[in-house]
Amino acid sequence: MKPISIARANVKRMIRERSNIFFVFIFPIAIILLIGVQFGGGVDPVLGLYAEDDGQIAASITDALEAEDSIAITRLDSEGDLVGAVERGNVQAGVFLPAGMDAAAAEDVVIEIGYLATQDGSGTQLQTFVGSIVADVMVPVGAAQYAAGETGDSFETAFAVSTSLEDEVSGPAVEVSAVGEAIFPDSLGRFDLGAASQLVLFVFLTALTSSAALILTRQLGISSRMLSTPTPVGSIVLGESLGRFGVGLLQGLYIIALTLIIFSVNWGDPIGAALILVALSAVGAGAGMLLGATFSNDQQASAVSPMIGIGLAALGGCMFPLELFSPTMQKVAHITPHAWALDGYAELVRRGGGPLDILPELGVLTLFAVVLLILAGWRLRVAITRP
């Protein structure tokens, strides 16, 4: 069929364009990686630890740190290895326990524990966390210092007694409970949030920027030559629509497949995820067709389409989670198809929904696609048949 041939030619043109190797295939994955590394959750922080001391205080601090389930401890063999691990980002922070801690405590000398971290949020949070653990360990140290001074026993003996007494003494029971529902569940993977938002952004943006190719097709007279053959205008319009649709669909399938393989991103119910991608690709096809049929040269389309695509993405929640928008801005965001697509993926990924649960989102996206494709088809028909 001629429409299929026209669509296939458009997709091949997109793949063969050298600039698209970066902007279509490398850039989206790089952005997802960056967002996941900087802001993603779902991964426990790693704390490097080097204990030069083998005394009781160092052992108590080490045991207390390793007893915490919220962080992972990596033992290192030297202070240099600890510094290198922090510098390379292998650990988020490092703790150095110097030699002679027990002797310093026995002589009532200030004990200095080294803490290393980079200048990011995770290092600061870990510093507070480590500080509270060390403070808890130092409580029996203070008691042992006092007892040793009063009784004349060695610090080591007094510390062992104070530690054992601390285990036997029970303080007031504290029970912590969370009220309400978390915006982002604990099960959300590190790259899940960024992958969905960037999928929506790039599927729409890639289909939108393909409008330049449609303008070149008209400028070079390819559309006119097709009309001179037994090819109806409707077939040309349908073929160009399918071409934009194929471009967006290929972009989306690439992002889903690669993030699934590399980052183990959870896309929820596969049928639901595919339906949203198909509907969003159709919306992008309609928008790209409308721009390609409206502008008179490809420079205009190349300049305007990224601005429109990125602007709508920012308004629709691709740059900043919709859940953190104000109630008014959430309503405004839903004038864009991006917000509805993100709502659909949120239902699938965060709440474990299925195709029936995203019917409202699919309905709105389908309405967007129908309106845009009708307008674009009418405008393209006028553009290619105009004398």
User: Per residue of the chain (387 residues), what is the pLDDT tens digit?
Assistant: 788 888 888 888 888 887 778 888 898 999 888 877 665 555 567 889 999 888 888 888 898 888 887 788 899 999 999 998 888 778 888 999 998 888 887 787 888 888 988 765 556 667 888 888 888 888 888 777 777 777 777 777 877 777 776 555 444 555 656 565 666 666 677 788 889 999 999 999 999 988 888 888 888 788 778 877 877 888 888 988 898 999 999 999 999 999 999 988 999 999 999 999 999 999 999 999 999 888 888 888 888 999 999 999 999 999 988 888 999 999 999 999 999 999 999 999 988 999 999 999 999 999 999 999 999 999 988 888 875
Query: Closest Cα to residue 330, out of 365, 276, 364, 321?
Result: 321
Q: CA-CA distance, 210 to 289, in Å (whole number)? A: 8
Would you say the pTM of this structure is higher than 0.85?
Answer: no
Query: Please, what's the largest Cα pairwise distance for the chain?
Result: 108
* Backbone torsions φ then ψ of 353, nearest 5 degrees: -75, 175
**C-alpha 201, offset from chain centre:** 13
Query: Closest Cα to residue 344, out of 283, 290, 289?
Result: 283
Q: What is the b/e burial string over 280-301, where b = at least 16 CB atoms within 10 angstroms of the residue's CB?
A: bbbbbbbbbbbbbbbbeebeeb
* H helices, E strands: number in the chain: 17, 4
Under CATH, domain 46-164 is a member of which superfamily? Answer: abc type-2 transporter like domain (3.40.1710.10)
Q: CA-CA distance, 72 to 94, in Å (whole number)? A: 12
Q: Would you state the pLDDT for residue 32?
A: 87
Domain range summary for the chain, segments of one domain joined by +: 2-39+189-385, 46-164
The tokens of 186 are what? 């604990």
Q: Would you state the pLDDT for residue 184?
A: 67
> Which residues lie closer than 8 Å to 41 by C-beta, 6 or more apart?
184, 186, 188, 189, 190
